[in-house]
Structure 1
Amino acid sequence: GVDFSSLTFGHYLEIKAPAPWYDFSPWNYLNVERVGVSNSGEQQLKEIPGCSKSFINFEKYLINKGAITKNIYREMNFYFLEIKLLLKEGIPYFKTEYKNLLCPEGSCRPCDERRKQFLMNVNE
C-alpha cells in the first residue's frame, strides 16, 4: 500500500477542480516536452502531472473529517476507498485548498515552479 503522496488520482482531481496550475508544466526547467507515448505513437499532452508529495494533506483532511479510516493488517496500513468519495471530497478540496497541494517553499523545484507561475498570474 501507499499513502496519498503517491495518489495518481490526485492529478485527475487537479484537472477536474481545477487547481490554478493544472495546465502548467512544472518540468520546464528540465525541458520536458508535452508528449506521451502509446502503442499508437506519440500523443500531445494538455497537462503534465507535477509533484504529488503534498497530496498527503488531502489524506489528512479526509482522516480528520472522518471520511476515511486507516485499516491495519499486521504491519500494513491501508484504506478501502471508493472513487466516488475521492471525487466528492477531492474536487472542492483541490479547488479551495490548492495551496496545500504544494510542497513547502524551497523543498521541491516542481512545486516552486507552480507556485511561481501561479503567483505571477495572480499579480498580473
Structure 2
Amino acid sequence: TNMFTSIVGNVFGFKALRALRLEDLRIPPAYSKTFQGPPHGIQVERDKLNKYGRPLLGCTIKPKLGLSAKNYGRAVYECLRGGLDFTKDDENVNSQPFMRWRDRFLFCAEALYKSQAETGEIKGHYLNATAGT
C-alpha cells in the first residue's frame, strides 16, 4: 500500500509546519516482513539505461496530483527530451479518477519512445505500482 510513504514521506514537506521531529516509529515485525527490499541494485539500472561513468540524472514528475494522463506524459517527455536519464512517479501517484494508471502508462510509454527516438539515448520512466491500479 501507499500508507507508509503517504504518512512519513510527505508530512515533513507540509509548508504549514515550521518544525517537526519524528521521535519514535514502531513498525510491527509482521508488517516489516512484507517488504522484501529492491530486487536489484544500481548496476542493473545502469545496464538498462546504458549509462556509466557518471551519476544518473532523473526527477520526480510534479505536480504529483492534478494533471491529466496526457499532460503527465507531456511532462515526462519534456524532462527526458531535455536531457534527463529517467523520470519517476511520486510515491503517492497511483490510479485516480482523473488519471488512471493504464492511461498514464500509455502516455508515459509514448513519451519514453519519442524522447529515445529524438535523442538516440535509452531513457527510463519508473511507474508507481505499489497500490491498486
TM-score normalised by structure 1 residue count: 0.21
Rg (Cα) greater in structure: 2
Structure having the higher strand fraction is 1
TM normalised by structure 2 equals 0.20
Higher relative contact order (CA 8 A, sep 6+): 1
